[in-house]
């Protein structure tokens, strides 16, 4: 059993538990359910956008504790002040130490920035919950879902006004799961079964993703030079968590990267 199998098995139980506690109908009465949704596509493709989707990530199965003290509202507000185009907030508790309250805190602190609910979405209930927590887009991971499930869950997300980021790891997943039902395509450089991270994965798959989708490179991104090369390859979004969160000041780490990205490369 891989870590992803374990996460999904746990997630199935969690969804049953959460739905028993709060029904979808109750979630729809939440004040945030009616708020206008912000477009991640628009934020990532706007002129001058940094393209950075800055992630709030306390810990991970591959790295253990990354940051045991950061607070979601303050950290994400710092990210936005430092130039993040979008935010990503992990809400999975058992494996990542995130909570739905982290997403609510990020939403309250950043009313004008699109937020990704970063979780392992396997049901419509979680999408309703994402909307009620204040998210603007959701993640669907190809390796956790059938192609038909991706279409069905994407359609449901769109009904609620949310955009969909489909995550793939290889060419086979791209061929089997990518349809026009999604808005953004993420290439995860981390193999979620083995944890091996290889930033060349994004570079290799770039030309196989039609330009009608916003392309997002995910995981293992650390250097401005890598991001600049991936921009050349067609990527407009860059999902980065650990590089920022492992430092004492995640916002300052992001500000440093943004400064490097905007420094003109000398001709000599």
Ligand X SMILES: O=C(O)c1ccccc1NCC(=O)[C@H](O)[C@H](O)COP(=O)(O)O
Catalytic status, residue 118: yes
Q: In whole angstroms, how close is the CB of 215 to ligand X at the nearest point?
A: 14
Closer to ligand X by CB, 33 or 195: give it. Answer: 195
152 vs 222 by CB, closer to ligand X: 222
Annotated catalytic, 55?
Answer: yes
**Minimum distance of ligand X from residue 65's CB (angstroms):** 12
What DSSP state is assigned to residue 131? H
In sequence order, the 6+-apart residues with CB closer than 8 A to the CB of 41 are 163, 183, 184, 214
Q: State the minimum distance, in angstroms, from the CB of residue 211 to ligand X.
A: 22
Query: Among residues 90, 81, 74, which one has the least CA distance to residue 50?
Result: 81
Taking the least distance from each CB to ligand X, the nearer of 164 and 240 is 240
**CA angle, residues 114, 88, 73, in degrees to nearest 5:** 85
* Active-site option among 129, 163, 218, 242: 218
Contacts of 236 (CB under 8 A, 6+ apart): 44, 45, 49, 51, 214, 215, 216
Tell me the closest approach of the beta carbon of residue 123 to ligand X, in angstroms: 18
Backbone φ, ψ for residue 185 (5° rounding): -120, 125
- The answer to whether 11 is a known catalytic residue is no
Q: Which residues bind ligand X (CB under 6 A)?
A: 3, 55, 57, 60-62, 188, 190, 192, 195, 218-221, 239-243
Q: Which of 67, 88, 123, 219 is catalytic?
A: 219
Nearest approach, Cβ of residue 250 and ligand X (Å): 11
Residue with tokens 């746990």: 10
Least CB distance from residue 220 to ligand X, whole Å?
5
For the question of residue 110 being annotated catalytic, the response is no
Q: Is 218 a catalytic residue?
A: yes
Six-digit token string for 64: 């253990």
| CB within 8 Å of 138: residues ≥ 6 apart | 116, 117, 119, 121, 126, 127, 130, 153, 157, 162, 163, 164, 165
The active-site residue out of 14, 129, 163, 167 is: 167
Q: Choose between 76 and 188: whose C-beta lies nearer to ligand X.
A: 188
Q: Is 189 tagged catalytic?
A: no
Report the residue number, 61 or 234, with the smaller CB distance to ligand X: 61
According to DSSP, residue 28 is labeled T
**Closer CB to ligand X, residue 51 or residue 220?**
220
Is the distance from CB of 165 to CB of 185 less than 8 angstroms? Answer: yes
Catalytic residue among 11, 14, 57, 163: 57
Catalytic residue among 55, 163, 173, 242: 55
Residue 81 CB contacts under 8 Å (≥ 6 apart), including other chains: 251
How many residues belong to the chain?
A: 268
**Residue 215 a catalytic site member:** no
| Active-site residue identified among 188, 189, 191, 202 | 188
Q: What residues are annotated to the active site?
A: 55, 57, 118, 167, 188, 218-219
């Amino acid at each position: 059993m891989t870590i992803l199998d374990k996460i999904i098995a746990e997630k199935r139980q969690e969804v049953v538990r959460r739905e028993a506690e709060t029904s979808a109908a109750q979630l729809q009465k939440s004040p945030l359910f009616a708020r206008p949704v912000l477009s991640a596509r628009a934020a990532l493709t706007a002129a001058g956008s940094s393209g950075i989707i800055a992630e709030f990530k306390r810990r991970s199965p591959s790295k253990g504790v990354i940051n045991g003290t950061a607070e979601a509202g303050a950290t994400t507000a710092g990210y936005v002040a430092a130039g993040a185009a979008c935010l990503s907030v992990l809400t999975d508790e058992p494996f990542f130490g995130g909570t739905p309250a982290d997403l609510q805190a990020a939403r309250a602190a950043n009313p004008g920035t699109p937020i990704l609910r970063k979780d392992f979405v396997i049901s419509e209930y979680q999408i309703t919950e994402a909307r009620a927590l204040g998210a603007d887009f959701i993640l669907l991971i190809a390796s956790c879902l059938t192609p038909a499930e991706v279409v069905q869950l994407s359609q449901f997300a769109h009904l609620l006004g949310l955009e969909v980021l489909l995550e793939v790891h290889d060419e086979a997943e791209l061929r089997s799961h990518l349809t026009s039902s999604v808005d953004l395509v993420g290439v995860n450089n981390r193999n979620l079964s083995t944890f091996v991270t290889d930033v060349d994965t994004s570079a290799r798959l770039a030309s196989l993703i039609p330009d009608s989708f916003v392309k997002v490179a995910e995981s293992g991104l650390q250097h401005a030079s890598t991001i600049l090369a991936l921009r050349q390859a067609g990527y407009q979004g860059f999902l980065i968590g650990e590089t920022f969160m492992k430092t004492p000041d995640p916002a300052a780490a992001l500000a440093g990267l943004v400064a490097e990205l905007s420094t003109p490369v000398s001709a000599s």
